[in-house]
Amino acid sequence: MSSQEGPRPDKMFPVSWDQFHRDSRALAWRLNGAGPFEAIVAITRGGLVAAAIVARELGVRVIDTVGVASYNHQDRGEIRILKHVSEDVLKLGGEGGGGLLIVDDLVDTGKTARVVREMMPKAHFATVYAKPMGRPLVDSFITEVSQDTWIFFPWDTGLSFQPPIRDGAA
């Protein structure tokens, strides 16, 4: 999930491209002994970048996606599956997906994670960032942030001048 569910909180956590790359490589390092993984399933869209980095680091060549939508940057809605994982990839993972690695950028409330976990109950589920409500649904993550923190991912932001804190910046 590249956005978080709910209203925008006061706590902000901006993540640069460099930081996201470092954190995704740290996730790969943590996952290195958890495999072997036959394939990676990236949760689109936020999981795509992390999945590419993890796949490179772990030498996994088969990558598929699952597309799940539940909200945009302002509104929450019902979970909709936009794209399923291919049957070929599910077969690679074996019964229940045990040889699969699911990768996402963030687990927030866990709504998306629950739906994807039901599709591949034995897959290893990894996220770069985790919030407390969703953390129990993933097997591996790198950084935990509070539930009321809004993560600004590098693909959601642009470079711009930021006034000094003393001048009233948040």
CATH number at residue 30: 3.40.50.2020
Residue 119: the pLDDT is: 94
- What secondary structure letter does DSSP report for 48? H
Which two structure tokens, joined as six digits, stand for 5? 């569910």
Angle between the N-to-C axes of helices 47-58 and 17-31, in degrees from 0 to 180, rounded to the nearest 10: 50
CA quadruple 86, 139, 126, 110: dihedral positive or negative?
A: positive
Evaluate whether residue 122 is within a structural domain.
yes
Res 1: pLDDT: 44
What is the pLDDT, as a whole number, of residue 165?
80
Specify the 3-state DSSP secondary structure of 11.
strand
**For residue 75, is pLDDT > 70?**
no
Please check whether residue 52 lies inside any domain of the structure: yes
Catalytic position from the list 23, 104, 148, 156: 104
The two structure tokens encoding residue 122? 């034995």
Calpha distance 30→70 (Å, rounded): 29
pLDDT at 158 exceeding the cut of 90: no
Q: DSSP assignment, residue 130?
A: E
Lowest mean pLDDT among 79-83, 88-92, 165-169: 165-169
User: What is the predicted pLDDT for the residue at 166?
Assistant: 80
**SS3 per-residue string spanning the chain:** CCCCCCCCCCEEEECCHHHHHHHHHHHHHHHCCCCCCCEEEEEECCHHHHHHHHHHHHCCCCEEEEEEEEECCCCEEEEEEEECCCHHHHHHCCHHHCCEEEEEEEECCCHHHHHHHHHCCCCEEEEEEECCCCHHHCCEEEEECCCCEEEECHHHCCCCCCCCHHHCCC
Structural domain count of the chain: 1
pLDDT confidence tier of residue 9, bands split at 50, 70 and 90: low
Query: What token pair was written down for 120?
Result: 């591949």
Q: Comparing C-alpha atoms, which of 79, 80, 20, 81 is closest to residue 51?
A: 20
77 within domain boundaries? yes
State which residues form the domain around 65: 11-155
**Is residue 64 one of the residues assigned to a domain?**
yes
Is residue 97 over pLDDT 60?
yes
- Is 108 a known active-site residue? yes
Residue 139 bears catalytic tag: no
- pLDDT tens digits, 33-60: 998 999 999 999 999 999 999 999 999 9
Is 166 inside any structural domain?
Answer: no
Residues 157-169, mean pLDDT to the nearest whole number: 76
Which one of the listed residues 75, 105, 148, 167 is annotated catalytic?
105
Identify whether 99 is part of a domain: yes
Residue type at 61 in one-letter notation: R
Indicate which residue of 18, 23, 75, 108 is catalytic. Answer: 108
Is 3 contained in some domain? no
Q: Is residue 170 part of a domain?
A: no
pLDDT in tens, 119-155: 999 999 999 999 999 999 999 999 999 999 999 999 9
